[in-house]
Amino acid sequence: MMRSPVFAANWKMHHGPTAAAAFMRTFLARHEPSTDRRVMFFPPALTLHAVLEAVRDRPDILAGVQNIHTEEKGAFTGESSAAIAHDAGARLVLVGHSERRHVFGETDDATAKKCELAVRHDLIPVLCVGEKLEEREAGDTERIVSRQLRAGLSRLQRAQIAAMLIAYEPVWAIGTGRTATPADASAVHTRIREDLRAIAGDQGADVPILYGGSVKWDNVRALLDAPGIDGVLVGGASLDAEGWAAIVGA
């Protein structure tokens, strides 16, 4: 089945509310409402309100947060819960991004808890999976990705899995300028799809699987043309409004 391609922008720790408002004015002037693709923004938490205000009349564009805590509430200074994210207007949440895993020590068990909390509070989880360079060179890519995927989905029911997204982001290709070839990415996406079918049956057949890792204007078309790649999760190349509009228009 053909799925509308997904274009997701992860701003990481860039663009405060003022910069985001200016970005959105430029981007929205260049991206007309469209039903043949889905656009998502993951701004910093303190910038979420500026993005939501900008897209208030654009239901074709969704916004989410980059992280939630593993607990419902409590004495966790500096953290945000799924409930708070939803109340603030977020529709989605990134879970298990490589920087959360490898900079902040997020575990597979934590990703499972976060996915469970996300769906409990009507947030759509975007579960990120991917291998490090040494794991790829050791031939462990599919084993690592499969382990992360199955762990992250372990607390969800099939219908809940059907409503989420998966992002494959090889750690060695994030922010390095190195990109998995379309064929390499497609092979991993095929394995992810097989695992989704094994876990969720037919309800895993249409879960969008995005590719993330140094996606740019000059490679996005080839990636989207590769079998099994349903969209892209973009970091650095999503920070320029005109450049992001060009990628979304690919």
pLDDT at position 169 over 60: yes
Distance CA 76, CA 6 (A): 33
- pTM of the entire structure? 0.96
pLDDT at position 163 over 60: yes
Catalytic residue, from 31, 86, 97, 121: name it. Answer: 97
Tell me the three state secondary structure of residue 139: coil
Mean pLDDT over each residue of the chain, to the nearest integer: 96
Strand partners, 99: none
Catalytic residue, from 99, 116, 131, 169: name it. Answer: 169
Distance CA 101, CA 70 (A): 14
DSSP assignment string, 184-223: HHHHHHHHHHHHHHHHHGGGGTT--EEE-SS--HHHHHHH
- What are the chain's domains? 6-248 (3.20.20.70)
- pLDDT tens, 4-52? 999 999 999 999 999 999 999 999 999 999 999 999 999 999 999 999 9
Question: Residue 177: what pLDDT?
Answer: 75
Question: Residue 27: what pLDDT?
Answer: 98
pLDDT at position 100 over 80: yes
pLDDT at position 1 over 60: no
pLDDT at position 2 over 60: no
- pLDDT tens, 170-193? 998 877 777 789 999 999 999 999
Question: Residue 76: what pLDDT?
Answer: 98
Question: Residue 3: what pLDDT?
Answer: 76
For residue 121, indicate whether it is catalytic.
no
Q: Which residues contact 47 (CB under 8 A, 6 or more apart)?
A: 11, 15, 16, 17, 20
Tell me the three state secondary structure of residue 8: strand
Distances in Å between the Cα of 245 and the Cα atoms of 50, 63, 171, 199 are 18, 16, 25, 36
pLDDT at position 223 over 90: yes
For residue 97, indicate whether it is catalytic.
yes
pLDDT at position 117 over 80: yes
